[in-house]
Structure 1
């Protein structure tokens, strides 16, 4: 698939975190999660 090499825009990925009662606790952007987990260098490689 030659024409499908567009980079994926991960900056738009948002994760909402909720507690056991369904209350919204926080929102993470993908970059924040990747930095915390150390995934960013692996994804860029």
Structure 2
């Protein structure tokens, strides 16, 4: 079963596949942190 990517459904299939792979490996957060090491101060929408 493929993981639905509600906000990424219009992106190319190869990118969706990469995201799904990172999700199943529990590595998506690490990948994003590595790619964008400097975060902003907003941590919640509340």
Same fold flag (TM > 0.5): no
Higher helix share: 2
Larger RCO (CA under 8 A, 6+ residues apart):
1
Please, what TM-score do these two structures have when normalized by structure 2?
0.26
Higher strand share: 1
Larger-Rg structure: 1
